[in-house]
Each structure stands twice: as C-alpha cells, then as structure tokens.
C-alpha cells in the first residue's frame, strides 16, 4: 500500500512542479530550492526529487536567488557546494563535493563563469584533473588523470579549442 502512495505522490509532485513553473514560464535558473531552511542542489533535486518524503514535500520553497555566502546540500544531507553569490552569480572561490562527501571540484568563478585554475577529483578522492579556465572556456594547460591517478594526459587549449 505504501508503494502506491509513493507512486501517487511522485505523480502529484511532477504535476505540481510542471503546473507551477513551466506553465508560468518561470526560469528555474533564477530560483533557489529550499527544503525547510536548507538550500538544495538543483541537480540533485532534479535527479532525486521523486524520493522526497511527505514532510519534505510540504516544506519545499522556490525562492529568488539572493546574494551572499551559500552552502547547498544534497538531499542525503551531505554538502554539495560552498561559495559566494554576488550580482546573483557565482563569484570567488567555489568548492563542490560528490554525494559520498569527497571533494569534487575547487576553483574561482567570475560572474558565474569558471576562471583561473580549477582542480577536480574522482569520488574515490584521487585527482581527476587540473586545468585553466578563462571567461568560462578552457584556456591553457589541462592535466587529466585516470581514476587510479597513475596515467596522465596533457592537453592545451586556447579560447576553448584544443591546440596541438
């Protein structure tokens, strides 16, 4: 019986979100998603929102993005990202984590675009890559590693295009 309630709830949630946002042409990029007072990562909400319990669903709020220091969380309660919103966009150093709690990425953003050196890690904690961004596109040297961290590939970019 609980399985049927869960299915009905998922259908209700899907209809509710579609009715309240898509029919009103609301740009979800301009909103933050909160469950109670916790900022939820949009990607995780889209991927796992159907698994919310009844209490969580009742406390969902979509609020316009505001400036300030932000910490967003996965639905599992683990930290997803941490950084500053300024002019309603990511600015300064931002850090991101995998759902298992391992660090996923760290780097600077300017007006919502990656800039400067960014570091990436696999879920196992090993380095995945280090590379440079300029105004939101690859620019400069990129080092990519396989998941065990032993093999490295080096690529160079200029204005987002790989150069040899």
- Residue pLDDT, tens place only, 80-139: 999 999 999 999 999 999 999 999 999 999 999 999 999 999 999 999 999 999 999 999
Domains of the chain (ranges, CATH numbers): 1-64 (no CATH), 66-163 (3.90.930.1)
Q: For the chain, what percent of residues have pLDDT higher than 70?
A: 84
pLDDT value of residue 18:
47
Sequence-ordered strand ranges (E) for the chain: 31-35, 38-40, 60-64, 68-73, 79-86, 89-97, 103-110, 113-121, 127-134, 137-145, 152-158, 161-163
Mean pLDDT of 26-37: 87
Full-model pTM: 0.81
């Amino acid at each position: 019986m609980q399985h049927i309630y869960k299915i009905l709830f998922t259908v209700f949630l899907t209809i509710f979100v579609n009715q309240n946002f898509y029919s009103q042409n609301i740009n979800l990029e301009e909103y933050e998603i909160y469950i109670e007072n916790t900022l939820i990562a949009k990607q995780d909400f889209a991927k796992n929102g159907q698994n919310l319990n009844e209490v969580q669903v009742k406390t969902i709020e979509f609020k316009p993005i505001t400036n300030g220091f932000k910490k967003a969380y996965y639905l599992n309660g683990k930290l997803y990202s941490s950084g500053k919103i300024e002019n309603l966009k990511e600015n300064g150093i931002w850090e991101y984590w995998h759902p298992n709690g391992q660090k996923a990425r760290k780097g600077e953003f300017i007006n919502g675009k990656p800039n400067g050196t960014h570091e990436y890690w696999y879920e196992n904690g090993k380095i995945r890559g280090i590379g440079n961004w300029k105004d939101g596109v690859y620019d400069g040297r990129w080092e990519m590693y396989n998941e065990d961290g032993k093999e490295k590939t080096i690529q160079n970019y200029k204005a987002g295009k790989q150069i040899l």
